[in-house]
Structure 1
Amino acid sequence: MLLFARRRQDLSPAEFRDYYENHHMPLLRNLSGKVFPCSHERSYVVRDGPDFLAKVVLGEQADFEYDSMAILTWKDQRHFEATFALYGNEDVGKAIREDEAKFTEWGKAVIVA
């Protein structure tokens, strides 16, 4: 699965990355336990200057509304479904969503299988 996330615009790219890596990921691992994905690899769009424009090699600036891309893998469909069932859990899902709101604009997120 590919997950494209956009940072909250009041955060710098460095603040976004720091929060994602050092707060959100440990929280996800802790809350997910055995159903955490087999892998959750993240890459970040390089953004330069005071306007944080993407460092575009090919394409247009408008093509890069996201700030990170994560590649997630699971061992099978059951494992995948167990992970996403967490979002339906009242306490765990709420904790995840509240934390996501601290650093992302989920209205701009894109997830593809």
Structure 2
Amino acid sequence: MSLYKALNQPMCRSSSQIHRNTQFQFPNPPPPPPPPPTAKMPFTLLLFVHRKPDVSPEFFKIEYEKHIEHVKRLAWDTFPLTHKRTYIARTTVDTPPEGASERNALTPATVFAGKQSDYDYDVMAEVTFVDKAGFEAFWKKTSLPEAEAELRAHEKEFMDAKKFGVVVVGDLLMTEGN
């Protein structure tokens, strides 16, 4: 019996008729999907960057944004897929709040949970490469003597290199709202 006929038969009441009328096969099942291309595992790093103690948050942000452009120019075709920067919200105060860190005594973070010292860094950057090999190519290019010298010279103007931190991201899960 054709699919068209089976779907257009009047509804039946006996279980034998229901069983007989619902047993049909699609004429040609669709072919299985092609195998996926070789998947590359994205390689993501989190960078925690601190400004020098004598640098304002505003100056730090301006210089860090310039710095990313230097990195992009020097890394050229190996620059990461994304370089997302999240700056800590800071206010300037005359009197340090309770628990203020020495570094940010007069520029505390706007903290909802935790301590001021938990948020001593000024920007957290999420840097994603197509895969680990992409990161390694980037690292190789930005570690060339001329590139490294230019980047380090600029960093000395605004960044505290001793406090710089980088960590590799493991699983990345995301939940979106409606």
Q: Please give the per-residue CA displacement for 1:67-87, whole angstroms capped at 9, x wherever unaligned.
A: 000000000111100111134
Give 1:52's match in structure 2, choosing from 99, 107, 110. Answer: 107
Structure 2 unaligned runs (5+)?
1-44, 94-105, 169-178
Larger CA deviation: 82-91 vs 66-75: 82-91
Question: Which residue in the other structure is 1:73 paired with?
Answer: 128
Q: Please give the per-residue CA displacement for 1:10-62, whole angstroms capped at 9, x wherever unaligned.
A: 111011001111x2111111111000111000011111123101111110011
* Cα distance in 2 for residues equivalent to 1:101 and 1:94: 11
- The answer to whether the aligner puts 1:112 opposite 2:112 as a matched pair is no
* Cα distance in 1 for residues equivalent to 2:62 and 2:143: 27
Distance 1:31 1:76, change over 3 A: same
Question: Which residue in the other structure is 1:40 paired with?
Answer: 83
Residue identity matched to 2:46: L
* Cα distance in 1 for residues equivalent to 2:117 and 2:84: 24
Name which structure has the greater RCO, CA cutoff 8 Å, separation 6+.
1
Larger radius of gyration: 2
State the identity %: 33
* Cα distance in 1 for residues equivalent to 2:75 and 2:139: 10
* Cα distance in 1 for residues equivalent to 2:58 and 2:153: 20
The answer to whether the 8 Å contact 1:87/1:94 transfers is no
- For the residue of structure 1 that corresponds to 2:141, the secondary structure is helix
Q: With structure 2 as the length reference, what TM-score do the two structures score?
A: 0.61
Question: Which residue in the other structure is 1:18 paired with?
Answer: 62
User: Higher strand fraction: Structure 1 or Structure 2?
Assistant: 1
In the TM superposition, structure 1's runs of 4+ consecutive aligned residues that sit over 3 Å from their partners are none
* Cα distance in 2 for residues equivalent to 1:19 and 1:87: 18
RMSD value, Cα: 1.0
Q: Count residues in correspondence.
A: 112
Structure 1 unaligned runs (5+)?
none
* Cα distance in 2 for residues equivalent to 1:82 and 1:6: 26
- The answer to whether the aligner puts 1:7 opposite 2:7 as a matched pair is no
Give 2:144's match in structure 1, choosing from 89, 93, 106. Answer: 89
Q: With structure 1 as the length reference, what TM-score do the two structures score?
A: 0.94
Question: Which residue in the other structure is 2:158 paired with?
Answer: 103
User: Higher helix fraction: Structure 1 or Structure 2?
Assistant: 1
* Cα distance in 2 for residues equivalent to 1:81 and 1:5: 21
